[in-house]
Amino acid sequence: MDSFKDFTISKQLQYAIDDLGFEKPTPIQSQAFSVILSGKDMVGIAQTGTGKTLAYMLPILQELKFSKQANPRVLVMVPTRELVLQVVEEIEKFSKYKSNRIIGVYGGVNINTQKQALTEGSDIIVATPGRLYDLVISRALQLKSIKKLVIDEVDVMLDLGFRFQLTNIFELLPERRQNIMFSATMTEHVNAIIQDFFINPVTVSVAVSGTPLDNISQYCYPVPNFYTKINLLVSLLRDKETYKKVLVFVSNKKSADLLFQELENYFDSEIAVIHSNKTQNYRIRSIENFNNEETRVLVTTDIMSRGLDLNEISHVINFDTPSFPENYMHRIGRTGRAEKKGTSLLFYTEKEEPAKIAIETLMNIDISFNELPAEIEISTKLTLEEQPRSGEREDSIKIEEDDLGKGFHEKKEKNKKTNQGGSYRRNLKQKYKKPKTRGDKNYNRRNKKR
Ligand code: AMP
- Cα separation, 340 vs 215, in Å, equals 7
Q: What is the pLDDT of residues 260-271, one digit of tens each?
A: 999 999 999 999
pLDDT at residue 443 is higher than 70: no
Does the pLDDT value for residue 362 go beyond 90?
A: no
The residue contributing the CA closest to ligand 1 atom 21 is 22
What's the rounded mean pLDDT across residues 137-164?
A: 92
- What the chain holds in terms of domains, given with CATH numbers, is 4-205 (3.40.50.300), 216-369 (3.40.50.300)
Pick from 214-218, 249-253, 278-282: least confident: 278-282
- 13 or 303, which is more confident? 13
Predicted confidence (pLDDT) at residue 248 exceeds the cutoff of 80: yes
Which residue has its alpha carbon closest to ligand 1 atom 5? Answer: 51
Instruction: Give the position, in ligand 1's atom list, of the atom nearest the Cα of 93.
Output: 12
Residue nearest atom 18 in ligand 1 by C-alpha distance? 22
64-68, 158-162, 371-375, range with the lowest pLDDT: 158-162
What pLDDT is recorded for position 329? 86
How far is residue 349's CA from residue 229's CA, in Å, rounded to a whole number?
9
The angle at the Cα of 382, spanning 304 to 422, to the nearest 5 degrees, equals 80
Chain-centroid distance of CA 38 in Å reads: 26
Higher pLDDT, 48 or 135: 135
% the chain with pLDDT above 70: 84
Banded pLDDT at 390 (limits 50, 70, 90): low
Ligand 1 atom closest to the Cα of residue 23 is 20
Query: Distance from CA of residue 60 to its chain's centroid?
Result: 24
Least confident of 48-52, 199-203, 217-221, 419-423: 419-423
In angstroms, what is the span from residue 91 Cα to ligand 1's centroid?
Answer: 12
Q: For residue range 415-438, what is the model confidence (pLDDT) as tens digits?
A: 333 333 334 334 434 434 433 333
CA distance 2 to 75: 29
* Neighbouring residues of 278: CB distance < 8 A, sequence distance ≥ 6: 286
Phi/psi of residue 9, each to 5°?
A: -115, 155
**pLDDT exceeds 70 at position 450:** no
**For residue range 333-346, what is the model confidence (pLDDT) as tens digits?**
888 877 788 999 99
**CA torsion, ordered 190, 194, 195, 199, to nearest 10 deg:** -170
Which residue among 3, 9, 26, 153 has the greatest number of ligand 1 atoms within 8 angstroms of its CB, and so is best to mutate? Answer: 26
Task: Name every protein residue with a CB atom under 6 angstroms from any ligand 1 atom.
Answer: 22, 25-26, 29, 48-54
Task: Return the pLDDT at 209.
Answer: 61
Give SS3 for 104: strand
Tell me the C-alpha distance between 62 and 12, whole Å. Answer: 9
Give yes or no for residue 16 having a pLDDT over 90.
yes
Please give the distance, rounded to the nearest whole angstrom, from the Cα atom of residue 334 to the centre of ligand 1.
23
Cβ neighbours around 258 below 10 Å, total: 18
Which residue has a Cα nearest atom 6 of ligand 1?
49
Q: Please spell the DSSP secondary structure of 386-421, one letter per residue.
A: GSPPSS--TT---GGGTTS-HHHHHHHHHHHHTTHH
Say what the pLDDT of residue 184 is: 83
**Mean predicted confidence (pLDDT) in 218-223:** 98
Share of the chain above pLDDT 90, in %: 61
**Ligand 1 atom 8, closest CA:** 51
CA 90 to ligand 1 center in whole angstroms: 9
- Of ligand 1's listed atoms, the one at least distance from the Cα of 20 is 12
- pLDDT band at 82, cuts 50/70/90? confident
Query: How high does pLDDT run on average in the chain?
Result: 84
